[in-house]
Amino acid sequence: MSLRLLVVEGNARAAREAHQAGFGKTPSQSYADILVSIAPDAVCDICLPADPGANLPNGRGLEDYDGIAITGSALNIYDGGEAVERQLELARAVYASKTAFFGSCWGLQLAAAASGGTVTKNPLGREIGIARNIAPTEAGATHPLLTGRPAAYDAPCTHLDVVAVPPSETIILAANRLAPIQAAEIHHAGGVFWGVQYHPEFTLTELASIIERRAAPLAREGIFADEEQGKSYCAELRELDRNHERLDIAWRLGIQPELLDPQMRLTELRNWISLKVRPEKSRRGRA
């Protein structure tokens, strides 16, 4: 029997369409394709809770899925509004369903806020492009989510917000200089969430499409000297993604091997599917 996975799109329509215009897919479509690449027996549905009136596909219940994953988002928890509140309500329902639960970036922030945590703008500023020197905590060093990760690693990222105060039942699994929680396990209402502040699902090409779209404001923030430098950076990311033998680019941009090898880059998603989703499917008698 196929794995039944649900990908929850964190973005409202305008941000989805902008991502699709630059990359060719919405974030949720891209995320679903990555999950199927890891688990070819998976069938992925997509839901759009930021949109008014959005429902689960095909009238399914959350318990019908073997795993539920939440994408990143251009939204901010602290801004509130109906698009945020609908997603918080959905996250609480996912916890209560006890379905295997995962999230990247916004997904971590949403799961934390839905279970009593606090999300704020990062006082240390934006982290974009590559999250450097992520280090597992003592708990993370032996946690199944990070199985295969070394004592320090890099990962694709783009975020301005962080989980500043974790929910009461949180195990912090990894951190770096710019984010006190880069990976975590959260328990709430009988459910368990695994998530990361970075984006293991992003290829360098998808990352480049996001950064290029924001090159002008990033230049104004001082991330790049000017917009053209930002576009040049994105062009090199794309070229390196096309040709991993371009060690000159990898050296110049500081791109580590774990960003070029899909097996390494997708570590957390692979671990979630093999160590959380499949066992839960079996426990529910759907193996």
136-187 pLDDT, tens digit each: 999 999 999 999 999 999 999 999 999 999 999 999 999 999 999 999 999 9
pLDDT band at 287 (very low <50, low <70, confident <90, very high): low
Pairing between strand 118-121 and 161-165? antiparallel
Residue type, 224: F
Q: Which helix (H) or strand (E) holds 110?
A: helix 106-114
pLDDT in tens, 115-144: 999 999 999 999 999 999 999 999 999 999
Catalytic residue positions, numbered: 105, 199, 201
Residue 76: CA atoms inside 13 Å, Cβ hemisphere, count? 9
The whole-model pTM stands at 0.97
pLDDT, position 59: 62
b/e per residue, 172-182, with b = 16+ CB within 10 A? bbbbbebbbbb
pLDDT, position 167: 98
pLDDT in tens, 27-68: 999 999 999 999 999 999 999 999 998 888 776 799 999 999
Q: Residue 171 forms beta bridges with which residues?
A: 185
pLDDT band at 284 (very low <50, low <70, confident <90, very high): confident
Largest CA distance in the chain: 56
pLDDT, position 283: 86
pLDDT in tens, 198-207: 999 999 999 9
The CA radius of gyration of the chain, in Å to the nearest whole number, is 18
pLDDT in tens, 187-226: 999 999 999 999 999 999 999 999 999 999 999 999 999 9
Q: Which domains does the chain have, with CATH numbers?
A: 3-201+266-283 (3.40.50.880), 204-257 (no CATH)
State whether residue 259 is helix, strand or coil: helix
pLDDT, position 186: 98
